[in-house]
Amino acid sequence: MSDLKHEKYDETTTAVPSSPVNGDLETGESAKLHRALKGRHMQMIAIGGSIGAGLFVGSGGALAKGGPGNLIIDFMIIGFMLLLTVNAMGELAALYPVAGSFYNYSIRFIDPAWGFAMGWNYALNWLVVLPFELIVAGATLAFWTDPDNTGSPSISIGVWITVFLVLVVAINFFGVKGYGEVEFALGLMKVIAIIGFIICGVVINCGGVPTDTRGYIGAKYWHDPGAFRNGFKGFCSVFVTASFSFGGTELVGLAAAEAANPRKTIPTATKQVFWRITLFYVVSLFILGLIVPSDNQDLSNASGSGDTRYSPFVLSFKIAGIKALPSIFNAVITLSVISVANSCTFASTRTIQALCASGMGPKWGAKVDKKGRPWVVLIIALAFGALAYVTLAPEGGTAFTWLLSISGLSNFFTWGSVCFAHIRFRKAWAMNGRTTDDLPFAAMFGVTGSWIGLALNILCLIAQFYVSLFPIGGKPDAEVFFSNYLAAPVVILFFVGYKVYYKQWSFGVNLADIRIDEGRRETDIDAFRAEMDAERAEQAQWSWAKRQWHFWF
């Protein structure tokens, strides 16, 4: 593992480090990604970049399985875990804004084989989620084309899949700048929509809607049908829905390689995640649990169907008798899903391009055109979108469900690895005589936060194992278990395959061999430290209120 000390970075590009087994990376035109993402892009990616079907549709199935109490508790747990994870990732990304950041940190600070497994696991996750999001986007239009739920919409979902796939292709034609502008516009729309839902939900709960015959609701649905459903299994079952809903929160770290000024934008974007978790998830779902009963029959159809007629957000307006808002919010969901589909393409292509550039994939996958687009990988990723058409076949839904199961646990592996890589990094950092004063951004919760984040990720994997082995309302079933837990053997296969192929039987890197300053954009470390000291001296003169604002925002 000592080969890691020979890794080289090109300070003028966003090339990833050389593979520990394949020698130095040959940088050049094939390794260049454009740094076109501005501060407003990074902040909106952090705030609303991944809000889509998981929150707007999947939360309905979670509400039905676990009840409003479990829904809030589990989303708060996952949200807290993500807050710790994103802080750890933000510290690493601000210091090392390199392509393929997640797998890169695992290679450098954990183990090359584990980094290889994490990189391809993360790429596969987004590759298979893309066709799922296209299917959901098409299904949202059944709200208008098949309002009576006959099963035969006036326009086939295949037509809409084609339209949305072409739209995603068009967005990616403009490269990373197109991705940033689309995410900024759609993210802003999602922010406005959720704030509007929260305000409207409060009005509904207080009985302020004349067409709602329920009057004042209060906490009625927390008592009848109850705050908690299906016991401990219900509690565990919500975890996966929550993780899927939060998936993509880490994209701000992946985008660091193409950020114009990651030292400034990454810390700010990282802090925004706290407010996204609090406002968009916890508050909105709390309001949702107050105005939609968890025993509503339509909620059980919301889990994984993508049909927004069963979205609890749309349903809340229907139950209240508000005629215009269901259609308006359904349109918001449609655009949100397109946003996530756009993120799928960005995440998968940048990860695969970085893997190929570091020798962990075919060389042709590392090619980047003059506009900073990894065009070869982009074609492959968009071709994966065509898998959405499989669901149109009689047995296609079953086949696609198995394919999608690869992504079921992917987030937990990614987030846990980020936390552990941060723990290992801090140890290597200290071994080189460095302190947190030498960092452009220090995680708000330090190494302790990463240990807690790692432990919570492991607990989530255990909880999912339990409900996969003993599903709600059923007996142990091998098909159900593997459809929920398939990602685990896939990760193990990548990990073991790497070890066997390269005959590397030990585990872990020697932290003493790591050149801790390689991979940084700052070429003059002393000048950088002087600049940081000057900034901290200025901040020390700020008022207490201004320092708190800077800490949280």
DSSP symbols for 212-228: -TT---TTHHIIIIIS-
Average pLDDT over residues 5-25: 36
pLDDT at 26 over 70: no
The CA dihedral of 185, 189, 195, 199, to the nearest 10 degrees, is 150
DSSP code, position 270: H
Average pLDDT over residues 345-357: 83
Which among 451, 234, 205, 190 is positioned nearest to 319, based on CA atoms?
205
pLDDT at 528 over 70: yes
Alpha helices in 22-58 (DSSP H): 39-48, 53
Structure confidence by residue, pLDDT tens digits, 50-72: 677 778 887 888 888 889 999 99
Alpha helices in 358-445 (DSSP H): 375-385, 396-404, 410-431
The model's pTM is 0.83
70 sits in which H/E element: helix 59-95
CB of 252 closer than 8 Å to CB of 83: no
Task: Give the rounded percent of residues in the chain with a pLDDT score beyond 90.
Answer: 13
Q: Rounded to a whole number, what is the distance in angstroms from the first to the last CA of the chain?
A: 40
Which among 197, 228, 201 is positioned nearest to 212, based on CA atoms?
201
Which band of pLDDT confidence, cut at 50, 70 and 90, is reported for residue 390?
Answer: confident
Of 296-310, 333-347, 479-493, 496-510, the poorest mean pLDDT is in 296-310
Taking only Cα atoms into account, the Rg of the chain, rounded to an integer number of angstroms, comes to 23
Structure confidence by residue, pLDDT tens digits, 70-127: 999 988 888 888 889 988 988 888 888 776 667 888 988 999 999 999 989 888 888 8
Looking at domain 2-522, its CATH architecture is Up-down Bundle (1.20)
pLDDT at 162 over 50: yes
Residues with Cβ within 8 Å of residue 302, at least 6 apart in sequence: 57, 58, 59, 60, 61, 64, 310, 311, 312
Q: What's residue 403's pLDDT? A: 67
> Quick one: angle between helices 544-552 and 262-275, nearest 10?
90
315 sits in which H/E element: helix 312-320
Residues with Cβ within 8 Å of residue 342, at least 6 apart in sequence: 168, 171, 172, 179, 182, 183, 186
pLDDT at 13 over 50: no
Q: What's residue 395's pLDDT? A: 65
Average pLDDT over residues 402-406: 69
Q: In angstroms, rounded to a whole number, what is the distance separating the alpha carbons of residues 32 and 373?
A: 9
Higher pLDDT, 505 or 302: 505
Higher pLDDT, 33 or 479: 479
Which band of pLDDT confidence, cut at 50, 70 and 90, is reported for residue 450?
Answer: very high
Task: Give the rounded percent of residues in the chain with a pLDDT score beyond 70.
Answer: 81
Chain-centre distance of CA 299, in angstroms?
24
Supply 476's token pair: 């142990």
